């Protein structure tokens, strides 16, 4: 039985690394449909290098299906990588798992130089922030206002909006900055807070696209 399981794990790992992204997507879906803790390291390793967005998202889903005592330590190890993708994917996956023990490690990346790592940490931070620490998190996020291009700024605005009154207070305080980029970003953030349905609709559409692609992959289209 142990030998058979080893063979099955090796085959699954090979499929996760297949040159065809549709094969990799089906392999990731299979890993989530039939959770096997022996694949956890393979899934985390694949997240670190997977070039296809939809496959990465399915890998994250597969990891959320495994026991947190298996996945969280592996993901925390991935946060120590020198490369951006392992860190951003680990942060994204930790936000989906929702284990608050990961909060201190997530908080260390709020000011990451790499934009994708920072964006992933912002999203994860609002999911994992401990009760009572929301105002401090909002202040730290507000310190990043004015950073980056449109997508980066939109991610930060959404994170502040998710913190409700704490995010609004921090943004309004930052609006007194002498930096025109910061003030402009604050205006956009407060506008988003006044119309949160726009952000929610975009997230729903993205989830539908991922789910639809996954269904097509299973059908072999």
pLDDT tens digit sequence for 58-99: 999 999 999 999 999 999 999 999 999 999 999 999 999 999
Extents of the domains making up the chain: 1-100, 129-221
Q: Residue 156: pLDDT above 50?
A: yes
The pLDDT > 90 percentage for the chain reads 81
Q: What is the C-alpha to C-alpha distance for residues 218 and 220, in angstroms, rounded to an integer?
A: 5
Q: What is the C-alpha to C-alpha distance for residues 70 and 182, in angstroms, rounded to an integer?
A: 41
Q: What is the C-alpha to C-alpha distance for residues 3 and 26, in angstroms, rounded to an integer?
A: 24
pLDDT value, residue 5: 59
Whole-number Cα distances in Å, 198 to 127, 141, 188? 19, 21, 12
Query: What's the CATH number for 1-100?
Result: 1.25.10.10
Lookup: tokens for 164: 């409700």
Lookup: tokens for 199: 């952000």
Length of the chain equals 221
Q: Residue 217: pLDDT above 60?
A: no
Rg (CA), the chain: 19
pLDDT in tens, 188-209: 999 999 986 654 444 444 344 4
Average pLDDT, the chain: 88
Q: Residue 18: pLDDT above 50?
A: yes
pLDDT value, residue 210: 39
Q: What are phi and psi of 130, to 5 degrees?
A: -65, 150
Helix, strand, coil share of the chain (percent; to 5) = 75, 0, 25
Q: How confident is the model at residue 54 (pLDDT cuts 50, 70, 90)?
A: very high
Q: Specify the pTM.
A: 0.84
Nearest alpha-carbon partner for 28 in 210, 196, 221: 210
């Amino acid at each position: 039985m142990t030998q058979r399981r080893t063979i099955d794990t090796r085959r699954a790992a090979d499929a996760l690394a297949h040159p065809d992204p549709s094969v990799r997507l089906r392999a990731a879906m299979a890993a989530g449909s039939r959770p096997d803790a022996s694949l956890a390291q393979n899934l985390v390793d694949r997240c670190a290098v997977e070039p296809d967005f939809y496959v990465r998202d399915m890998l994250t889903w597969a990891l959320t299906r495994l026991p947190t005592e298996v996945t969280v330590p592996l993901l925390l190890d991935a946060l120590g990588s020198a490369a951006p993708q392992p860190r951003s994917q680990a942060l994204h996956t930790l936000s989906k798992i929702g284990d608050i023990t990961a909060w201190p490690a997530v908080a260390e990346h709020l000011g990451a130089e790499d934009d994708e790592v920072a964006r992933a940490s912002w999203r994860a931070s609002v999911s994992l922030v401990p009760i009572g620490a929301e105002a401090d998190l909002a202040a730290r996020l507000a310190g990043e206002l004015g950073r980056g291009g449109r997508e980066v700024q939109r991610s930060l605005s959404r994170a502040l909006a998710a913190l409700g009154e704490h995010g609004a207070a921090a943004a309004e305080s930052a609006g007194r900055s002498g930096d025109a980029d910061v003030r402009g970003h604050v205006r956009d953030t407060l506008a988003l807070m006044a119309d949160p349905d726009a952000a929610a609709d975009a997230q729903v559409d993205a989830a539908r696209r991922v789910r639809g692609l996954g269904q097509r992959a299973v059908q072999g289209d």
